[in-house]
Structure 1
Amino acid sequence: MIRFIASIVLLSLASSLQATTDKPNFIIIFTDDQGYNDLGCFGSETIKTPHLDQMAREGRRLTSFYVASSVCTPSRAALLTGCYPKRIGMAKGVVFPGNNHGLHTDEVTIADMLKSAGYATACIGKWHLGHREPFLPTSQGFDTYYGIPYSNDMNHPDNSGRKGIPRRNKSWLNQEEAWRAWKTPLMQDEEIIELPVNQRTITRRYTDKAIEFITANQEKPFFLYLPHSMPHVPLFVPEDAYDPDPQNAYKAVIEHIDAETGRLLDTVRELGLSENTYIIFTSDNGPWSGTWGNYKSHAGSADPLRDGKGTTYEGGQRVPTIMWGPGRIPAGTETNEIAGTIDLLPSIASIADLPLNTRGPIDGMDISGLIHGDDQSPRNEFLFYSRGGKLDAIRQGNWKLRMTTQRKKNPDKTPSVELYNLAEDMGESENLAEQFPKRVDSMRQQMKALDDEITQNIRPRGNYNP
């Protein structure tokens, strides 16, 4: 009888282990301020990205894929929680070194969900969801963290001392001097291990750590979140990737990210993990070029989209996206169906066959079918909130309505009305609002109804009281 019971226990353990090892791995590579046009496979004629282009040939391009904000913090909060930033109290701007708030630890992140199912989890790169200890990645479902806690142009501990630091061309021409001028910290879990971080080598070191994590956890399911701190300005690359011409600064940075992504992909292939690993490559928002600021050769391109970072035009929130998973995701395919980072959490849950035990309602939809080759997305609508957290626009099918308030030009705060047919005018150049007043009214009502529900159910962000 004892032997019988022991055998049953062993069989149960073996079955549990097998179920765990059968779970797919997930890797999300999230660049910072990279434009829609900044990959060869998305139309760039100047930036060479052979590794990402190959990833696209072996996977699926999503050409109407959106982030939920045009700036860093709310965009990252949305990706990890499956919620519009407003729903979780993270819609208004970005977290600065002097701030004491962050993503509430009661929110369920992709890492929380996968860790509870036996996954190894790691965040390697830029966090920017709260740098106080209660909000760091190790409190948000990640076993380990290695990276910078906020943007690479922010100084520890209170963001002072930034005036007079060389920027753009001067910074690029004096890389060694420039990285020492920024007091951006590098963290391992909850500790600062390097101050200032050597930003010339950081992209490569992120990849080194990512490869170490994948190698160490190849026998069990893992989730790697790799949010690169580049190509956010100031731009840096190691000596062997450096081009002394400042006009080629941005190009050099993207090509370096491409090469490092190639190293990571090679590791996945060499370890025999390709057919059980999903890799998603995208950006946190559009490039820093347009009405909110033009960094010229230090910024990317959103062509043929309008505008860039900090705006709710397409160039601010539609981002280049590649999904790769040999044997699972059809090679050499693309879709122009609407989808976004808020859809990743429920989709990963579906793919991994896990329940959605979130803190409350989420806004994401299960697009696993679309990822795997379906022709239609379950998502037909998407809301656009300004960098200050105000509702600006809605997309319904091929139509996009923008209702923005120009305070300086309109003292009465009358919203300007813009209506675009993105199927015919993805550059948002022809305003059709006067031609289709009924469509404007219908979309305006739906936009308000969706936002009203979110407003009534806002959950608080986390606040740290030292």
Structure 2
Amino acid sequence: MKSLLWIRWTLGLLLLCTADADSGRKPNFVFMMVDDLGIGDLGCYGNTTLRMPNIDRLTLEGVKLTQHIAAAPLCTPSRAAFLTGRYPIRSGMAAHGRMGVFLFSASSGGLSQEEITFAKAVKEQGYSTAIIGIYHVNKWNLIVKCYQNADHCHHPNSHGFDYFYGTIMTHLRDCQPGHFLYGHIPYKMQESGPEGIGLVSLALLHIKGMIAVTRRVVFGFLVLVGLVVSLFGVLVYTFPNLNCFVMRGPEIVEQPYTSDNLTQRMTSEAKDFFFYRNSERPFLLFFSFLQVHTGLFASPLFRGRSQHGLYGDAVMEVDWSVGQIMQTLERLNLKENTLVYMTSDQGPHLEEISINGEMHGGYSGIYKAGKSTNWEGGIRIPGILHWPGVLPAGKVIDEPTSNMDIFPTVLNLAGASIPSDRVIDGHDLLPLLQGQVERFEHEFMFHYCNAQLNAVRWHPPNSNAIWKAFFFTPDFYPENSSACFHTHICLCIKPYVTFHDPPLLYDLSKDPTESTPLSPDTEPQFYSVLEVIRAAVSHHAESLKPVPVQVSPLQIVWKPWLQPCCSSLSQKGKTKHFLAKFVSR
């Protein structure tokens, strides 16, 4: 009997010591972000026509957030907020003009060195950090260079990432032969281009008939036209070479790159990172998909396999990549100590049309509109978190959460201190995910369209209501559509928006599709709700400090002296050696 008690006591002590040892281990982090993925594209969020077994399994084994909100409806500010846990207006990553993103690799704006990314914070705690995929001025606003060609002030290495393999430019159609600029020409201009040219010609003929046009004027006009056409030709020829390249660390290894099998190559790079990591150090991997942003691509293995054309094929390839990453974690016995997070940067690009007139955008499900709008379809994104033994399997959470919440969650788990010298807008998700609390800390959320406050969400304490007030809304084209085909993207400036006084008001708990705005006649609390929201806006505005605007015309313009170039053939084929060098630090 005594021996049995001794055995039980010994086993209990061993289990206690093991538990203590395990609890002292810092978790690994794997984040997967898909570009322009719609919440309605995923089977776990209601899609019945796209097969995605790996993402579905990730959801069944983890936690699904149904009201996970992007901090902004465009990639540049949304991703900046994701990295820092702060509204992009606080870091200067919200544009004050028409252009809200960067279009050239040689631009000088970007996330300030004073900002703290979660990669930088965990690196100080001994983590090995890597980003594979997009690290682009359009996406991350962490421009590679600032003032001179060699400073690399905004390279991933300068913002906390030890290792980088990917692109600094988004995958635009411009990176594919024969697609240049089509996606940037307003839809109405594409429709009316021939008619416009004809009208200009008639006008010139009319002027010629009314006035005596000298040979010098005609010659000068022809020279000007020739110059413009020549410059345009040079831009067409050089754009892919100057902006469509793959880097490994600070070196360009493919210029221009080929999109075929690009996702498969990057997936292989992620697997190599797991294999060549320093096993004694925890790690953070950020896998940022180039898919499913325009221009769409899929490898031959997935082309033609879906019911939704090239877009569906690309989504299926993303699911395959997710499966490869999860299988590698499991094979290396890393799954049990790794927090996996999967999401999108914002809603789908509903206005995207191929050169053949085919729709190449995603699906918002039941939600209104898409990318670049603060309707639910533009900012409600997938939020899937997976950590066996720590997070409950199959749990669904309906509380409003934000992609900014990842920042404090990661820092707390890694043992890093939350910065006290700045406002952090995100909150630690772990208590909510584990069921320690039922109500999350986001009472108010502020939805910006560039630097303008567009809408406010209010989830009152002790209430199921989720009020959402719009101060202005984008004009759809045509009026009964939920997309802005007249510009290829919804804009936040006049004449593309309508201002509302009083603001449009919705209760998302009853009207998640935002189909019927409330009024004083239909909602007794109409004015009292707006009063609380206006007070919250005033309080929020007081917390904002002036910062340099990074997305300004001066910052986004192409600067030849900052142009990254050129392909380094000597780096090709050295993936393993390069990875081993970085992860062993």
Is 1:431 aligned to residue 535 of structure 2?
Answer: no
> Are the structure 2 counterparts of residues 207 and 67 from structure 1 closer, same or farther at C-alpha, using a change threshold of 3 Å?
same
Is 1:395 aligned to residue 457 of structure 2?
Answer: yes
Instruction: Tell me what 2:317 maps to.
Output: 256
Is 1:198 aligned to residue 287 of structure 2?
Answer: no
CA contact (8 A) 1:383 1:391 kept: yes
Q: Which moved more, 1:402-411 or 1:197-206?
A: 402-411
Instruction: Tell me what 1:174 maps to.
Output: none
Return the offset for 1:382: 1.0
Instruction: Tell me what 2:119 maps to.
Output: 111
Instruction: Tell me what 1:239 maps to.
Output: 300
Q: Which moved more, 1:62-71 or 1:278-287?
A: 62-71
- In the alignment, the residues of structure 2 paired with residue 190 and residue 94 of structure 1 have an alpha-carbon distance, to the nearest angstrom, of 23
TM-score of the pair, normalised by structure 2? 0.69
* Residue among 539, 548, 573 paired with 1:449: 539
> Are the structure 2 counterparts of residues 190 and 270 from structure 1 closer, same or farther at C-alpha, using a change threshold of 3 Å?
same
Is 1:360 aligned to residue 422 of structure 2?
Answer: yes
Identity %: 31
1:409-429, CA deviations, whole angstroms, 9 ceiling, x for partnerless residues?
699966562111111111111
TM-score of the pair, normalised by structure 1? 0.85
- In the alignment, the residues of structure 1 paired with residue 362 and residue 497 of structure 2 have an alpha-carbon distance, to the nearest angstrom, of 34
Q: Which moved more, 1:238-247 or 1:445-454?
A: 238-247
1:237-283, CA deviations, whole angstroms, 9 ceiling, x for partnerless residues?
11111118895111110111001100100011111111110000000
Return the offset for 1:372: 2.5
Pairs within 5 Å for 1:377-392:
377-386=440-449, 388-392=450-454
Instruction: Tell me what 1:5 maps to.
Output: none
> Are the structure 2 counterparts of residues 410 and 321 from structure 1 closer, same or farther at C-alpha, using a change threshold of 3 Å?
closer
CA contact (8 A) 1:61 1:322 kept: yes
Pairs within 5 Å for 1:19-418:
22-92=25-95, 93-97=100-104, 98-128=106-136, 129=141, 130-132=143-145, 133-153=152-172, 162-163=180-181, 182-183=240-241, 184-217=244-277, 218-243=279-304, 247-289=308-350, 297-357=359-419, 360-374=422-436, 375-386=438-449, 388-397=450-459, 398-404=466-472, 408=494, 417-418=503-504
State the secondary structure of the residue aligned to 1:37: helix
- In the alignment, the residues of structure 2 paired with residue 235 and residue 370 of structure 1 have an alpha-carbon distance, to the nearest angstrom, of 36
- In the alignment, the residues of structure 2 paired with residue 161 and residue 181 of structure 1 have an alpha-carbon distance, to the nearest angstrom, of 11
Return the offset for 1:142: 0.4
1:197-243, CA deviations, whole angstroms, 9 ceiling, x for partnerless residues?
11121111121111111222244200001111110011111111111
- In the alignment, the residues of structure 1 paired with residue 306 and residue 52 of structure 2 have an alpha-carbon distance, to the nearest angstrom, of 19
Return the offset for 1:164: 5.9
Q: Which letter does structure 2 place at the counterpart of 1:200?
A: D
Return the offset for 1:348: 1.0
Instruction: Tell me what 2:572 maps to.
Output: none
Return the offset for 1:181: 9.2
The count of corresponding residues between Structure 1 and Structure 2 is 430
Q: Which moved more, 1:195-204 or 1:279-288?
A: 195-204
Find runs of 4+ consecutive structure 1 residues off by over 3 angstroms: 18-21, 163-167, 180-183, 244-247, 292-297, 405-416, 457-466
- CA-based RMSD of the aligned residues comes to 2.9
CA contact (8 A) 1:51 1:261 kept: yes
Return the offset for 1:395: 0.7
- In the alignment, the residues of structure 2 paired with residue 134 and residue 198 of structure 1 have an alpha-carbon distance, to the nearest angstrom, of 27
Return the offset for 1:358: 6.5
CA contact (8 A) 2:49 2:307 kept: no
Q: Which letter does structure 1 place at the counterpart of 2:132?
A: I
> Are the structure 2 counterparts of residues 274 and 356 from structure 1 closer, same or farther at C-alpha, using a change threshold of 3 Å?
same
> Are the structure 2 counterparts of residues 412 and 272 from structure 1 closer, same or farther at C-alpha, using a change threshold of 3 Å?
closer
Q: For structure 2, which runs of at least 5 residues remain unmatched after alignment?
A: 1-20, 146-151, 186-237, 460-465, 475-492, 563-585
Return the offset for 1:78: 0.6
State the secondary structure of the residue aligned to 2:298: coil
> Are the structure 2 counterparts of residues 137 and 21 from structure 1 closer, same or farther at C-alpha, using a change threshold of 3 Å?
farther
State the secondary structure of the residue aligned to 1:342: helix
Return the offset for 1:55: 0.4
> Are the structure 2 counterparts of residues 294 and 70 from structure 1 closer, same or farther at C-alpha, using a change threshold of 3 Å?
farther
CA contact (8 A) 1:405 1:415 kept: no
> Are the structure 2 counterparts of residues 394 and 411 from structure 1 closer, same or farther at C-alpha, using a change threshold of 3 Å?
closer
State the secondary structure of the residue aligned to 2:534: helix
State the secondary structure of the residue aligned to 2:76: helix
State the secondary structure of the residue aligned to 1:125: strand
Instruction: Tell me what 2:17 maps to.
Output: none
CA contact (8 A) 1:20 1:221 kept: no
> Are the structure 2 counterparts of residues 433 and 99 from structure 1 closer, same or farther at C-alpha, using a change threshold of 3 Å?
farther
> Are the structure 2 counterparts of residues 379 and 165 from structure 1 closer, same or farther at C-alpha, using a change threshold of 3 Å?
closer
Q: Which letter does structure 1 place at the counterpart of 2:412?
A: S
Instruction: Tell me what 1:172 maps to.
Output: none
Q: For structure 1, which runs of at least 5 residues remain unmatched after alignment?
A: 1-17, 168-179
Q: Which letter does structure 2 place at the counterpart of 1:378?
A: E
- In the alignment, the residues of structure 2 paired with residue 24 and residue 324 of structure 1 have an alpha-carbon distance, to the nearest angstrom, of 12
- In the alignment, the residues of structure 1 paired with residue 153 and residue 494 of structure 2 have an alpha-carbon distance, to the nearest angstrom, of 39
Q: Which letter does structure 2 place at the counterpart of 1:74?
A: P
1:166-185, CA deviations, whole angstroms, 9 ceiling, x for partnerless residues?
99xxxxxxxxxxxx994411
Q: Which letter does structure 1 place at the counterpart of 2:285?
A: L
- In the alignment, the residues of structure 2 paired with residue 65 and residue 262 of structure 1 have an alpha-carbon distance, to the nearest angstrom, of 22
State the secondary structure of the residue aligned to 2:83: helix
Instruction: Tell me what 1:13 maps to.
Output: none
Return the offset for 1:457: 5.2
State the secondary structure of the residue aligned to 2:328: helix
CA contact (8 A) 2:135 2:156 kept: yes
CA contact (8 A) 2:472 2:497 kept: no
Return the offset for 1:389: 2.1
Return the offset for 1:99: 2.3
